[in-house]
A and B are shown apart, each in its own frame.
Chain A
Amino acid sequence: MRTTSQKLSFFVSITAGFFFALSCAATAQETKYIEDQRLDTESHIGNLTGHARAAQPDYRRYCVGCHGEEGDGLGENEPWLDPKPRNFTLGQFKCRSTPTGTLPIDKDLYDTIARGLDRSVMPPWNTFTHQQRADLVAYVKHFSPKFQTEKPGTPIQIPPEPAVTADRIKAGQALFQRLECWKCHGVEGRANGPSADTLQDDQNRPIKAYNFAEGARPKCGGTDADLYKIFMTGLDGTPMPSFADNVKPDEAWDLVFYLRTLEPMHTKEREIAKQLGLKPINPNAPAATPEATPTTPTPAPQQ
């Protein structure tokens, strides 16, 4: 014969089991619900609207090997890669048109997919249709909760590109010295500045400064406007900071032009620098205070 307490314990354990099962099911359903909701993420690039759900097959076919099923950058190839694949769950991206510390706009991600990242294993995915790329942008966004709670930053304003002049290149060189770009990138842009060897990314992995003399394309694109964006927005997750607080929008073009003279390719800027007999900066020159440095170049005659 069973005692009352035995019956009671049976009753209690059955009830507890039932509630436990119920809560498990509820949690699973909740996770599924959140995942489902996240898959509704959209992207908007011009007239295109991307849908995360539509990109699932493409992502699983082409992206998962490096970026991983969860988008955490821990795909099966990750151990053999350097630079490491991006962890999408952090919602942090190098190539942006938005200020440092903010989310990129959809167009930034779209451009990165199409352009690829030079000197990494991320190729230009120009084999995809525009629609497929837009869908993948939405899928990349769906991994990070940040895209659900935060709005992307406001893209920085880039004034129209002026004509290259000798004065602008000289002003750019003064900026290169004042902003101490050479501390990492070196006086000739050869990535051999005094701080170059100790640079680390956010995961404390060694990272190299960009070597202008190598003739490679910068990670976030090689056009003049791309260069402009790189130092005005900074490359989040790397040591490259944003200089937007200390460079006026028009001045920034001067620096772009000077950076072009450091490249080995034949450029108009290089030609002008050659005519000027421009020498690399001298880092030991008397400390360049903002008062001493002409921060606003005199308007140069058009050449």
Chain B
Amino acid sequence: MKTGFRYKFAALFTAGLLLYVGIAILGRRVSAAPPTGASVTGTIKLDGTPPHERPIDMSKEPSCAKIHENNPVRTESVVVGPNGGLQNVVVYVSEGLSGNEPASTEVQSWDQKGCQYIPHVMGLDVNQHFKVVNSDQTSHNIHPQPKNNSEWNKSQPPGSQPFDMAWTNPEVAIPVKCNIHPWMHGYMVVVKGPYGVSDNNGDFKVSGLAPGNYTLTAWQETYGTQTQKVTVTVGKPATVNFTFKAK
């Protein structure tokens, strides 16, 4: 009886191992299918009252204070649109990428206008280029503070040429600041593969996906991340909605 059990155990173990290896190989083959341009859309909402955004005092920079004279700007830690949609949320694929997704080649623009970053939150693919623009009549220094990439710090006086940069490693998220104007804050969210950033209605779109199962992650600078699983099929865009709870 003792020997019989041992054999049974060994047989079960081997079978399990074979099954595991088989699944691994099969799984790899499935995910290697070429992308067919499927996409995920959705809306991001805020449940509750957004935190109080403080008005920014730009009196130390008269050229910028003048721009916002009649419409004082506030901090942008939580930006809610007229329909309750949450803006500046980056949605990306955290699991399930095949590695065959087309790289984002569009050159993004990181503008400094009225002593604010436009956009306040920018999504980026790894190695996707972006140009840094200064539209102001004052000098800025662009100082991203990554942990997983190399930090740099460049000055950009008024009227100077935009310069081109890219990040080589994924990182959610890189805070960007200007040391001359301490109220200037922004984030660059560097992810592998397709991503979407929600607009003023909270709407986002992640495209360039192959049919399959994915885990989507939504990142908001104050509330952190949320994940959801989604199955994407051909010809029918999947819908995923996220709701962040106000703290």
Contact = CB atoms under 8 A, between A and B. Distances in A.
A266 interface: no
Given A4-B1, A179-B139, A239-B143, A202 B151 contact: yes
B152 A101 contact: yes
Interface in B10-53: none
Interface string A140-180: 00000010001000000000000000000000000000111
Given A4-B2, A179-B139, A194-B60, A242 B151 contact: no
A81 interface: no
Contacts of B156: 245-246
A242 B179 contact: no
B67 to A, nearest CB: 13
Contacts of A146: 150
Contacts of A241: 141-143, 153-155, 179
Contacts of A290: 157-160
Contacts of B141: 239, 241
B5 to A, nearest CB: 6
A236 B61 CA distance: 25
B63 interface: yes
A291 to B, nearest CB: 7
A245 B154 contact: yes
Contacts of A298: none
B223 interface: no
Contacts of B145: 202
B179 A237 contact: no
B153 A195 contact: no
B155 A242 contact: yes
A289 to B, nearest CB: 5
Contacts, number: 90
B138 interface: yes
Contact of B137 (A4, A102, A195, A287): A287
A41 interface: no
A289 B2 contact: no
A256 interface: no
B155 A183 contact: no
Contacts of A178: 157
Bin chain A's interface residue count. 35 or more
A146 B161 CA distance: 31
Contacts of B139: 179-180, 183
A180 B157 contact: yes
Contacts of A195: 60, 179-182
Interface in B112-161: 137-139, 141-143, 145, 150-161
B202 to A, nearest CB: 31
B179 A239 contact: yes
Nearest to B146: A101
A20 to B, nearest CB: 18
A184 B153 contact: no
A63 B138 CA distance: 43
A238 B1 CA distance: 73
A70 B155 CA distance: 33
A238 B5 CA distance: 67
Contacts of A237: 151
Interface in A184-213: 184, 194-195, 198-200, 202
Contact of B179 (A7, A200, A243, A289): A200
Interface in A56-111: 92, 100-102
Contact of A236 (B5, B153, B182): B153
Contacts of B181: 195
B151 A246 contact: no
Shortest 3 CB-CB distances between A and B: which pairs? Answer: A101-B152, A239-B179, A180-B139
Given A150-B150, A241-B154, A245-B163, 9 more contacts: A4-B2, A8-B5, A194-B60, A195-B181, A200-B179, A245-B155, A287-B63, A287-B158, A290-B160
Interface of B: 1-2, 5, 9, 60-61, 63, 137-139, 141-143, 145, 150-161, 163, 179-182
11 contacts: A4-B2, A8-B5, A92-B151, A179-B155, A236-B153, A237-B151, A241-B179, A242-B152, A245-B163, A290-B158, A291-B159
